[in-house]
């Protein structure tokens, strides 16, 4: 049960991430690879506050959101000047900058040592120690973020970001200052990613910069693309598949001296096959 709950927690955290990135990549058509930086900001906010102050988990989540909103505002101001490939490159650059800060600001982030001993959340004296209780809390957060995302994409704002994805220049003719929309959705998605980061830090109880390297942004992007762009259910499916597939392969009996390597090979092959036969992703309706 604890293992299943663990998988549920990981899936929930990465569904939050995948859904939040989907707002930028799937709905708005902006190929951002800076997302894991905001995941890290949320995680470090929670880790630092829980280990160095008396501030509790839920307050740390709010602090993480504010930190992510602030940093995404500054980063987004610059990114919104770019299009297409240059946007992707610039976003990668920011990801590297934020990672370097995590790695080098040792007095605050612990540098390569990371931060250990992060507490689990506590609410009215109850500590979410068990995997099952933590899963319940994570699911509540996930549902809240799902409804937020649903609210956004079904509003007039949601329609506009889809139009930006399709033809930003044409949309401007109709009186839309599209860079404000791009900045806003970037900030909202960063805030959501920070929430996922806070949960990640408190669940794993240890974080270090390796969890927030640029390669992890690609990992999250692959969940969005696999699940299908501009569909929250697709984002969830993509995250669940990518988390579950290697776990499923742990149970496929293979000789121990090649098991790990064979699992990687099978995992890679399955992803390739999926993309050949379903390039728009499981529930994809849109293309980048």
Partner 1 sequence: MSQVRAKDLTKIFNGIKAVDDLTIEIRDGNITGIIGPNGSGKTTLVNILTGVIPFEKGSVIVSETKREKVKPFNIHAYGITRTFQAVRLFEQMSVLDNILVVLTERNVFSALFERHKIHHISEAEAILKGVNLWEKKDDNVERLSYGQRKLLEIARAIAMKSEIYFFDEPFAGLFPEMRKIVIDIIYDLKIQDKTVVLIEHDIELIRGLCDRVIVMNAGTLLAEGKPEDVLKDKRVIAAYLGD
Partner 2 sequence: MKTKWIIGIIAAVILVIVGIALFDRSPDQAEAGLIKIGVVAPLTGDTAFLGEGVREAMLLAKEQLGDTEYQYELIFEDDQLDPKMTASATNKLIDIDGVDVLVSFSSGSGNVVAPIAERNEIVHLGIASDPNVANGFYNFIHWTPPAEEARVFVEELEKRNISRLGMIVPNQQGAVAVADAVKERLEGTDIEIVNEQTINAGDTDFRTAVNKAKDGNPEIYLLFAFTPELEILGRQMKEAGITTPLTSIEAFELTEERDLFEGYWYVNAAEPTNEFNQAFNSRTGKNQTLGAPNAYDIFNLVVSVTEDEPQRPTPKDIAEGLKDVENFNGALGNLSVGENDIILSPAAVRIIQNGQPVTIK
Under the rule (CB under 8 A), what is the footprint of partner 1?
Answer: 152, 154-157, 159-160, 162-163, 165-167, 169-178, 180-181, 184, 285-287
Considering CB distances under 5 to 8 angstroms, the limit depending on partner class, which of partner 1, partner 2, none binds residue 147?
none
Other C-beta atoms lying within 10 Å of the C-beta of residue 132: 15
Shorter beta-carbon distance to partner 2: residue 192 or 207: 207
- Residue 156 touches which of partner 2, partner 1, none (Cβ within 5-8 Å per kind): partner 1
Q: Which is nearer to partner 2, 10 or 230 (CB)?
A: 10
Reading the block at residue 186, the tokens are 């970037």
Q: Report, in Å, the least distance between residue 1 CB and partner 2.
A: 7
In the bound state with partner 1, the residue whose beta carbon lies nearer, of 83 and 166, is 166
**Residue pointed to by tokens 């696999």:** 226
For the bound state, the minimum distance from the C-beta of residue 135 to partner 2, rounded and expressed in Å, comes to 12
With left for phi above 0 and alpha for psi between -120 and 50, is residue 127 left, alpha or beta? beta
Look at residue 261 and give the partner it binds from partner 2, partner 1, none, a contact being a CB closer than 5 to 8 Å depending on partner kind.
partner 2
10, interface contact from partner 1, partner 2, none, CB < 5-8 Å by kind:
partner 2
Binding site for partner 2 (CB under 8 A): 1-4, 6-7, 10, 103-104, 106, 111-114, 116-117, 129, 131, 200, 203-208, 210-211, 237, 240-241, 244-248, 250-251, 256-257, 259-261, 263-264, 278, 282-283
Partner interacting with residue 78 (select from partner 1, partner 2, none; CB below 5-8 Å by kind): none
The CB-of-176 to partner 1 minimum distance in angstroms stands at 6
Three-state SS annotation for the chain: CHHHHHHHHHHHHHHHHHHHHHHHHHHCCCCCCCHHHHHHHHHHHHHHHHHHCCCCHHHHHHHHHHHHHHHHHHHHHHHCCCCHHHHHHHHHHHHHHHHHHHHHCHHHHCHHHCEECCCCCEECCEECCCHHHHHHHHHHHHHHHHHHHHHHHCCHHHHHHHHHHHHHHHHHHCCCCHHHHHHHHHHHHHHHHHHHHHHHHHHHCEECHHHHCHHHHHHHHHHHHHHCCCCHHHHHHHHHHHHHHHHHHHCCCCCHHHHHHHHHHHHHHHHHHHHHHCCCCCCCCCCC
Least separation, in Å, of the C-beta of 179 and partner 1?
9
Q: Considering the complex, what minimum distance in angstroms separates the CB of residue 87 from partner 2?
A: 25
**Smaller CB distance to partner 2: residue 129 or 154?**
129
Binds 210: which of partner 2, partner 1, none (CB < 5-8 Å by kind): partner 2
Instruction: State how beta strands 115-116 and 122-123 pair.
Output: unpaired
Rounded Cα distance between 58 and 111, Å, is 25
Q: Which is nearer to partner 1, 267 or 282 (CB)?
A: 282
Token pair for 49: 């506050």
Q: How far is the CB of 227 from partner 1 (least distance, A)?
A: 17
Give the nearer residue to partner 2 in terms of CB position, either 158 or 227. 227
Q: How far is the CB of 231 from partner 1 (least distance, A)?
A: 12
| Spatial distance between the Cα atoms of 57 and 45, rounded to a whole number of angstroms | 10
Q: Which of 188, 226 has the CB closer to partner 1?
A: 188
């Amino acid at each position: 049960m604890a293992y299943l709950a663990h998988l549920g927690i990981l899936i929930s955290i990465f569904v939050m991430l995948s859904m939040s990135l989907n707002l930028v990549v799937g709905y708005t058509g902006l190929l951002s690879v800076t997302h894991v930086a905001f995941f890290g900001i949320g995680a470090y906010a929670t880790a630092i506050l829980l280990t160095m102050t008396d501030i509790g988990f839920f307050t740390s989540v709010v602090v993480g959101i504010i930190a992510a909103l602030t940093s995404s505002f500054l980063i987004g101001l610059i990114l919104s000047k770019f299009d297409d490939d240059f946007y992707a490159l610039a976003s990668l650059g920011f990801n590297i900058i934020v990672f370097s800060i995590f790695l080098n600001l040792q007095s605050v982030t612990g540098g390569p040592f990371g931060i250990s001993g992060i507490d689990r959340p506590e609410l009215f004296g109850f500590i979410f120690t068990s995997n099952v209780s933590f899963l319940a809390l994570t699911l509540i957060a996930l549902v809240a973020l799902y409804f937020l995302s649903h609210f956004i994409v079904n509003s007039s704002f949601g329609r506009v970001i889809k139009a930006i994805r399709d033809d930003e220049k044409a949309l401007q003719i109709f009186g839309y200052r599209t860079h404000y929309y791009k900045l806003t959705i970037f900030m909202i998605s960063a805030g959501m990613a920070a929430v996922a980061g806070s949960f990640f830090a408190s669940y794993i109880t240890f974080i270090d910069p390796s969890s927030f390297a640029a390669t992890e942004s690609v990992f999250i992007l692959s969940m969005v693309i696999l699940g299908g762009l501009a569909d929250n259910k697709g984002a969830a499916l993509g995250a669940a598949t990518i988390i579950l597939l290697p776990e499923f392969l742990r149970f496929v009996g293979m000789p121990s001296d090649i098991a790990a390597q064979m699992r990687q090979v099978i995992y890679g092959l399955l992803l390739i096959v999926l993309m050949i036969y379903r390039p728009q992703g499981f529930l994809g309706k849109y293309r980048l």
